[in-house]
Structures are given as C-alpha cells and as structure tokens.
A = this chain, B = another copy of it.
Amino acid sequence: MTLFSLDESQIFEAIRAITPHRSPDERAPRESSNEDAEVAERFARAAWSGIAEPGDLVAGVVVRALGAGPALMALVERHSRSRVLDSLATAGVDEVKPSVLATALERWMPRLTAGSALSSLRLAARCGARLVVPGDEEWPGSFGDLGEHEPLALWVRGDLNALNRMSHTVSLVGARAATGYGEHVAMELSAGLIDRKMGIVSGAAYGIDGMAHRAALASSGFTAAFLAGGVDRFYPSGHDALLTRITKVGAVISELPCGSPPTKWRFLQRNRLIAAASKATVVVEAGSRSGSLNTAAHASSIGRPVGAVPGPVTSLSSAGCHRLLREYGAECVTNADEVMALFTPVSDNEPRLDTPITQAAAGPASERRQQHRSSDEVRLADALSSRAPRLTADIAKRSGLSISRTSSLLGSLSLAGSVVEGERGWKKIEP
C-alpha cells in the first residue's frame, strides 16, 4: 500500500491510533491483508474528509460508487475526467455530468497533499479522537437519511458508544444571544428529556446550546456536541471546559479532520448532522435570522419533526421560533412531554376545534367533570341558586328547559348530591 509516497508503516500506525478497538489483541502486530485493506479504506476516508467540504454531493457519489480508497487513488494518480467517468459507469453510476466532475476534480486537487492528511491523523491521535466510518458498528444509522449528503467519516472524542445512543436523543438548539427566559426553558426541557431517558444533542454554542448541554450534564444524562471544525480544538474556546466535560460522559463529534477551522459554510453543514442525529429538533429561542432555523430546515428536509418553543411576541429573541410556527409548520412545544409527543405516536381521539364546543374549553382531566356536563345540565345549574330555593316550574322557566326535563335532571342531580330539595324548593349545593 503506497499513498502519497508516504511510508506505509506511518499510515498504519496513524490509523491504528484512531481506530475503535474491538478485540483484546487490539495492539497485536498486523497480520492479514484484510487488515491492510481496512487500513487503506480508513485512511482514504480520513483523507477525503479533509479534501471535500462537508456536504460535497459529488464527493459523496464518487466515494460511494468507487470506494474511498480507489476514489482517492484516482486523485493521487491524477486520472483524467473521462477515466473517472468510466470508473463511475462501471460502478453503475451515470448521473454525474462531465462538467460537474471536472469542476469537482479541480476543487479537490488543491487539497490533495500528503502532509495534511497525515498531520490531521496525528492531531487526532494526540487528542484521543477516533475515526468512525460507514460500516463501523458505531456508525449512526440515522445518518442514512442524509442520502448522498451523509458524512464521509466522523471524528469522535469521548465515548464511541455515544454514536449508538443517537436514536434516543433530541436536538435542542437556539440562539447564542439567548435571554434568561430562553436559557430557563432550555434547561427545563433538557432536564425533562433526560428524566424521560432521552439524550441531548446540540452544537455547543453559547446561549441555548450550552445551556442544553449543561442541564443534561447536571442531570447526569447523556449529551453529544457536533462541531463545525476539528475536535482537536474546541470551539467556542469559552466552552472548552464544557466540551471537555461532555467527552467524559458523551461525545464531541465532527465530520472535519483535526486541524480544520470552523467556517460559516461548515456551521451550516454541521447543522445537518445535528438534525439527522436525533429523533427531533427543537428550537428553544431564536431571532428571526438565527442559525438554528437552518438546523430546523435540515431536520424538516429529511422528515424529522421540528418543534419550536413560543415566547413573548415582544421579544425579538423568540421571533425565529414564531416564524417556524407560522411559516414552516413547526409544532408548538411548551414542555418535555410535548417534545416527546413530537416523535411518539398519539391516539386519534384528541379533541379538535370541531368537536362539541362546550367541550373545547375542557381543562385537565381532574377538572373535566364540570366541563363535560351536558348542555342541559349547564342550563339547569345556571337556573339554580345555592341560597334561594326555587320551585321546579321557576327553574324550568329560568333554564328554558321543559318542566319534565327539569324534574328528571333535578332527580338525578339530587342522587349525585349536587342539589337538595327543601320545603321551599330546590337549592344547588356548592362543591
């Protein structure tokens, strides 16, 4: 195996250092050509994660069609555009236009340098990051929903099992410039979801993200952070301690190799991972141009439920949430139970506005008895006094019910102990 004229053993060593360990003899000397092939594929994935920007559709297609190793070799050996097209056609892929491929090759070549791939591997080894690629048992199945936008590889610091726990997480995101209200709600939702055995995914930004992570940690829950740059240097730096704590119980994850700085583009693409990782995305507080709306958009585009927490209409910091409710069909969520309901099937017998209107104002179950009285009972109660006894005829007239209906209702209500008849007529008994 020779790549970039690098010493084979250097590559082997670097890859071994960042590969999830599965067997007791994990540090045994290499043995099989099988392992050689695996190392080559892992190295190629690692290299590709630095060559193609996150979300590079053409890279996704080429790597998937040819395999990361052969695709990388095609770059290293400077295969012509038509040769690559031939390889793709052999693999059954013919949707890549020649001009698109040419542009892609042009943008990949400037980044094809031997040193950067190896140095990012070494940075990863130094900070304890490991590389997870599709096919690894840790690879989150939920990322399959990203299709050709699925990341080529993930760099993980912390608990590798965190990736398998993504199927029981909710993404809580929101504005950096959060208000006290927003942070309070982020904390309540995060703690409430942890209580309900869910984990919290977020982006480690100041404001809502940070509060969501912190509340999860404070509740001894699971939390994971997706970064827009390499996991070797935490961003924002003010959250260095927080992110370090997250690596102890959860994971800090990026699709970019170590040494990569975060950029605006990478933040937008990082948001798709936050959206795809979890069962649902909830925007806790967001101005009308907050990046968390982008996360919500990603979630929606792959069919994940999106919740938005309302706030005062007088607060600009809730304007983005209200936009989500108004324009994007996000669900209004006000507590952890409602967040759980985003992805938990509900029964069909919810009250609707077109159900009988006297029931529409019904409150909590304990108080519904009062509300679920028939309309005749409501009228009868209106016509009764708890102080002045009234005769049946009078009650009938006041209530607009017939005398016989009035008698029969009074009878059943007196059995229930709600009314009592004395010498001068019927009185209501206040509960």
Contact = CB atoms under 8 A, between A and B. Distances in A.
A110 B335 CA distance: 51
Contact of A311 (B272, B290, B312): B312
Nearest to A107: B402
Nearest to A298: B357
A379 interface: yes
Interface string A216-236: 000000000000000000000
How many chain copies does the complex carry?
Answer: 2
A249 to B, nearest CB: 28
Contacts of A185: 313-314
Grouping DSSP codes into helix (H, G, I), strand (E, B) and loop, the A interface class, with mixed when no group exceeds half, is helix
Interface in A171-216: 181, 184-185
Given A265-B379, A311-B310, A379-B263, A326 B319 contact: no
Interface in A341-361: 350-355, 357-358, 360-361
B397 A290 contact: no
A350 B327 contact: yes
Contact of A361 (B290, B312, B382): B290
Nearest to A309: B313
Contacts of A331: 326
A360 B106 contact: no
A364 interface: yes
Which of A110, A364, A402 has the most C-beta atoms of chain B within 10 angstroms of its own C-beta? A110
A110 B403 contact: yes
Given A289-B361, A335-B313, A353 B106 contact: no
Report the contact-size class of chain A (Cβ under 8 Å from the partner). 35 or more
A332 interface: yes
B301 A364 contact: no
B313 A106 contact: no
20 contacts: A52-B400, A53-B379, A53-B400, A103-B402, A103-B405, A110-B402, A185-B313, A263-B382, A263-B383, A265-B378, A265-B379, A265-B382, A293-B361, A297-B354, A297-B357, A300-B353, A301-B353, A306-B353, A311-B312, A313-B335
A93 interface: no
A355 to B, nearest CB: 8
Nearest to A189: B313
Given A263-B379, A263-B382, A375-B265, A106 B404 contact: yes
Nearest to A402: B106
A71 interface: no
Contact of A332 (B105, B325, B350): B325
Contacts of A333: 326
A297 B185 CA distance: 29
B309 A311 contact: no
